[in-house]
Amino acid sequence: MTRILLLALLAAPLAACGTVDGFGQDVSRASRTVDSWF
């Protein structure tokens, strides 16, 4: 059960952005946003 939940959590962002490259861009954007808070 835990393995299925973990797989779903990892697959959701990839499905949202469509590509691994898009996922990298999303992570980069999120890190810049958090960095700007500090």
Query: For position 9, what pLDDT does the model report?
Result: 76
* pLDDT on residue 5: 81
pLDDT attached to residue 22: 65
The string of DSSP codes covering 1-38 is -HHHHHHHHHHHHHHHHSSHHHHHHHHHHHHHHHHHH-
Q: Along the 38 residues of the chain, how does pLDDT read in single tens digits? A: 788 888 777 777 666 655 666 667 777 887 888 777 77
* pTM score: 0.40
pLDDT at 21: 63
Q: Which two tokens stand for residue 9?
A: 């959590």
